[in-house]
Structure 1
Amino acid sequence: MSELTEPVDIGGVSVPNRLYRAPVLECAGNGPDAVDTLVDELEPTAESGVGLVFQGASIVTDRGGCAAPNMTRVHDRSFVARLERLTDAVHDHGGRIFLQLAHGGLRSMATWHAGYRTRHPDQRQLAVSRPPWQLRLLDRAGLISLRPDVLTTEDVWGLAEQFGRCAGYAADAGYDGIHLSAANMSLIQQFLSPFYNRRDDEFADGVRFMEAIHDAVRDHAGSIPLVTKVPAETDAPKFVRRHLSRADGLDIAERVAEIGYDAVVPVEVSTFWDMSIVRGDFPDRAWDASDLQADYASVFGSRLRARAVELLNRWQARRFDHEPGWNAEFCRAVRERVDVPVLLEGGLRTRADCDRYLAADGDTPAADLVGMARPFYAEPRLGARLLAGEDALCESCNNCTIPQVTGEPGRCRTPSIVREQGRLAEAGAYERNRDEK
C-alpha cells in the first residue's frame, strides 16, 4: 500500500509525492508572453504541493503538427532555454517537471480546422501510411481535409532524431524528465495502431519508432527519465475492425519497459480524437456561449458544420463511460507485467479515489502515481486541498474544453465552481501546510 504523500522514484528522479498534474493544453504558444503564460499556469500547481507537473503536449517540429490552437513548439533551442525560468520556479517549490513531446500527424489542425487551412493553404499532414478509408470518406464528404505526406523510412529516422534533439534542449533547460504523447490520436499512436500503420518497412512495428525515439533521447539528453503513454484502442467505434486491443496495449507496455522507458501511462482510448479523451457531461454551456458562435463557425467552416460537430459531441458524451479512474483496470494489468512505475489518470476527482487506486486493497494496486488534468483549470492550486484529504471541485462538465478549439485558454466556465473556488481561496484553503499555521 502506498500513500499519496509518499515519495516515489522515476528513472532516478525522486518525486516528493504521488500526485501529478496530467498534461493539458496551456495555450501558451511561442510568442513573447509564452514563458510568462507557462509560469503563470504551472507554478501555482507546484506551489500547492503537487509532486510532478507535466507540461502539456509540445510540438517537436517547426511547422504543422499542432492538434489545437496555441500549442507550444520546442524545436528551437533558444526558446526552450528561456523555459529555465519555469523549471526553476517549479523546483523552488520542491516539485518536478517533465515536458511532454508530441506531434499531431493526421490529427493536426490542417485536417479539421477550416480557418487554419485558409491561413496555411499549402500545409500537409505527416502520415504513417495512406490514411484509412474512413478518413478518406470524410475527406470526400468535405468534413475534413486530407493532404497526407507519408513518411519515408529516412523521414521516420529523422523525426525520431528530432524528438531526441528537443529532449536535449529540455534537459539543458532544467526539465526533470520527458513524456511522450503516444495516445489521443497523436502521431506516435498512429505508428502503434494497425488502423493507421500499414507500412512495409521496419516501422510497420510501431514500437520500433518508440525505440528509435528512446535511443535518440539517450543520445541527446543522457539518462533523463523517459515516460510514455501506452494506448489500448478499446473505445474505437465498431466500424473500426483493426485497432489495438488491451492485450496489444499490455504487449506495448512490456516492450517499452524492456527498451528502457522509465514509466508508463496506460490509457484506453479510441482511434480518433473524440470524447473518450475528456469523458463527462455534454458541455452545453460552452456550445451555447453567444460570444463563441462566430468562432465555432470559422473553425469548422460554417454554422451548419459547427452544429453537426456539436450533435456528434452530444452523442459521444452519452457513449463513453465516466467511471472515475476509467483506466484503472488496464493500469493494474500493466502493473502486474512491468517493473517500472505506472501512472493512472482519467476522471479522478476525489482523495478517496486517489487512495483507493494506490492501495492494494486485497489486489494489485492500480498505479504508483495518480493524476488529474481538467480539475487544475478550475483550481490551479488544487494540490494543497487534495494532499490535505479534500476533493476537487471539478464536475467533469467539459465546458472548459470545447472553447479551446477556437484558441481560448483552458479555464473553468461553470459559475458555481468559479464562485466556490474564490470562496475557498479567500478562506486560505489553498495554502500549503495550512493546518500547521
Structure 2
Amino acid sequence: MPPSTNLFTPIAFAGLNAPHRVVMAPMTRARSTQPGDIPNSLNAQYYAQRASAALIVTEASQISPQGKGYSFTPGIYSEAQVEGWRGITQAVHAEGGRIFLQLWHVGRMSHPDFHGGELPVAPSAEPFEGQIWKVDPVTRQGAMVDSPTPRALSRIEIAQIVDDFRQAARRAIRAGFDGVEVHGANGYLVDQFLRTTSNKRTDEYGGSRSNRLRFLREVIDAISDEIGAERTAIRLAPFLTARGMDCPDILPTILEAAEYLQAKGIGYLHLVEADWDDAPVFTESFRKSLRERFSRPIIVAGHYDRERAEWVIAQGYADLVAFGRAFVGNPDLPTRLQHNLPLAALDPSTLFGGAAEGYVDYPPANTGEI
C-alpha cells in the first residue's frame, strides 16, 4: 500500500475533523422531487454512497423561488425541503460523513418560465451570453436555453435577498447540515455584484471595489451572525471569463474579499479554477497573493488528479482539494485515489435529470484490488 501523503493526512477545519483532504465538489444533478424542488431518498442514497469524502458540498440549492435558475434543482426555503434535506444529512452522518449545503441565488442566470413570466433579477439590467438547463413542460425533455437580459434589483430587494440567505442558513442547520457554503462563483448573483462587467450600479452596491463587495459582506455577515462564522464558507471563481464575467478588476477584488473573509474567521474559502480547454491559467502569483491574505483553510477544485492535488497542498496554496466529475462515477473516490486504483468514467448523458441510472448505480472498486 502506498505511504501516507499530504492528500491523505488528517485535517481539522470548519469545526470538523476529517481523515484526509479529498472533498466532494458541489455538482448540479437535477433530481429533486417535483413539484416543489424537494430533496428525496434517492438523493440521500447518492450522497451516502460518497460519505467517505473529507467533506461533501451539496449541489447548489436555491434560497428562494426567485433564486432558481435550472429545472429540478433542490431548494432550502420550504418545510418540505428541510425535511427532505434532513433525510440526506442523516444518511451521510450515519456513514460517518460530513456535509455542507451550498446556498444559491442564480441572479440573472435564469429564465422567466421559473418566475411566472417575470424577468430574472441582477445587480444591473445588463445583457450577457449565458444559458441554463430547462425542462420543457410538454415534452419533458431538458435542453440548454438562453437567459434574457435581467432587470435590476432595488435596494429593498437586495436587503430581502440577504435575509433569504440568513434564513436559508438557519434552515440548513435545522436540517442537520454541518455548515453552509455560499455559491459566490460561476457568474451567479454574488459573483455578479463583484464584477464591473455585470455590476453597473451607481449606488452603494456598485462602482468601487468596496461597494461591489458590499453584497458579499452583507451575506456573509448575516449567515455568520445566524450560525457562526466557522460553519460559514464561500466559493469564488477568480479566473472565470465566461457568461459575460470577464472583469478586469476581479483579481484585486477577490484579494480584498479574502482579507475580509480572513478577519471574519469563516470555515474555509473554496476556489473553483477554470476547468475547460484554453481557460485562463490559475497563476502561482495569484495563489501566493491570496495565501498572504487568507491563512485559514482553502479548498481548490478544477481538473485535479492525485499528483496535482499533492502539489497544491505541498506548496501551501490549499489545504483540501475538491473533485467533481470524478466523484460521479467513483463513489469511493478517496479509496481509489489513495490506492492508485483505476477511475471509472461517467456517463455524461445522465448528468442532469433522470432517476437512478447514472446516479446511484456506479459501483465501488473491487476491494480485492487494494
TM-score over 0.5 for the pair: yes
2:203 counterpart of 1:252: no
CA contact (8 A) 1:58 1:71 kept: yes
| Identical residues among aligned pairs (%) | 25
Residue identity matched to 1:428: T
CA contact (8 A) 1:60 1:162 kept: yes
In structure 2, C-alpha distance between the alignment counterparts of 1:31 and 1:17, rounded to whole Å = 36
Q: CA RMSD in A?
A: 3.3
In structure 2, C-alpha distance between the alignment counterparts of 1:370 and 1:232, rounded to whole Å = 16
Report the alpha carbon displacement of residue 75 of structure 1 after superposing the two structures with TM.
0.8
Could you give the per-residue CA deviations for residues 257-290 of structure 1, whole angstroms, max 9, x where no partner exists?
223422112235xxxxxxx5x52xxxxxxxxxxx
**Aligned partner of 1:352 among 303, 307, 326:** 307
Residue identity matched to 1:44: Q
**Aligned partner of 1:54 among 54, 57, 74:** 57
Report the alpha carbon displacement of residue 338 of structure 1 after superposing the two structures with TM.
1.1
Which residue of structure 2 lines up, in the alignment, with residue 124 of structure 1? 119
In structure 2, C-alpha distance between the alignment counterparts of 1:147 and 1:378, rounded to whole Å = 36
2:223 counterpart of 1:217: yes
- Structure 2 SS opposite 1:157: helix
In structure 2, C-alpha distance between the alignment counterparts of 1:226 and 1:99, rounded to whole Å = 10
CA contact (8 A) 1:58 1:99 kept: yes
Which residue of structure 2 lines up, in the alignment, with residue 9 of structure 1? 12
**Aligned partner of 2:334 among 380, 383, 388:** 383
Which residue of structure 2 lines up, in the alignment, with residue 167 of structure 1? 169
Within 5 A, what are the aligned runs for 1:91-240? 91-110=93-112, 117=113, 122-132=117-127, 134=128, 144=146, 146=148, 148-204=150-206, 205-223=211-229, 225-233=231-239, 235=241
CA contact (8 A) 1:176 1:224 kept: no
Which residue of structure 1 lines up, in the alignment, with residue 367 of structure 2? 428
Could you give the per-residue CA deviations for residues 156-202 of structure 1, whole angstroms, max 9, x where no partner exists?
11101110101001111211111011111111100111111122222
Report the alpha carbon displacement of residue 403 of structure 1 after superposing the two structures with TM.
6.3
Residue identity matched to 1:261: I
Report the alpha carbon displacement of residue 210 of structure 1 after superposing the two structures with TM.
1.6
Change in Cα spacing, 1:330 to 1:241, as seen in structure 2 (3 Å) is: closer
- Structure 2 SS opposite 1:232: coil
In structure 2, C-alpha distance between the alignment counterparts of 1:163 and 1:403, rounded to whole Å = 27
Which stretch of structure 1 is more off in the superposition, 120-129 or 177-186? 120-129
Which residue of structure 1 lines up, in the alignment, with residue 21 of structure 2? 18
Report the alpha carbon displacement of residue 129 of structure 1 after superposing the two structures with TM.
1.1
Report the alpha carbon displacement of residue 372 of structure 1 after superposing the two structures with TM.
0.3
Change in Cα spacing, 1:369 to 1:409, as seen in structure 2 (3 Å) is: farther
Report the alpha carbon displacement of residue 147 of structure 1 after superposing the two structures with TM.
5.5
CA contact (8 A) 1:266 1:334 kept: no
Higher Cα Rg: structure 1 or 2?
1
**Aligned partner of 2:296 among 316, 340, 356:** 340
Report the alpha carbon displacement of residue 21 of structure 1 after superposing the two structures with TM.
0.2
Report the alpha carbon displacement of residue 223 of structure 1 after superposing the two structures with TM.
4.8
Which residue of structure 2 lines up, in the alignment, with residue 40 of structure 1? 45
In structure 2, C-alpha distance between the alignment counterparts of 1:401 and 1:345, rounded to whole Å = 23
Count of residues paired in the alignment: 346
CA contact (8 A) 2:108 2:150 kept: yes
Unaligned 5+ residue runs, structure 1?
111-116, 137-142, 269-275, 280-316
CA contact (8 A) 2:125 2:149 kept: no
Which stretch of structure 1 is more off in the superposition, 83-92 or 189-198? 83-92
CA contact (8 A) 2:195 2:245 kept: no
- Structure 2 SS opposite 1:166: helix
TM-score normalized with structure 1 length: 0.70
CA contact (8 A) 2:233 2:266 kept: yes
- Structure 2 SS opposite 1:371: strand
Report the alpha carbon displacement of residue 400 of structure 1 after superposing the two structures with TM.
1.9
2:341 counterpart of 1:400: no
Residue identity matched to 1:250: L
Change in Cα spacing, 1:197 to 1:14, as seen in structure 2 (3 Å) is: same
Change in Cα spacing, 1:81 to 1:332, as seen in structure 2 (3 Å) is: farther
CA contact (8 A) 2:32 2:43 kept: no
In structure 2, C-alpha distance between the alignment counterparts of 1:131 and 1:91, rounded to whole Å = 43
Could you give the per-residue CA deviations for residues 132-155 of structure 1, whole angstroms, max 9, x where no partner exists?
4x559xxxxxx8453533211121
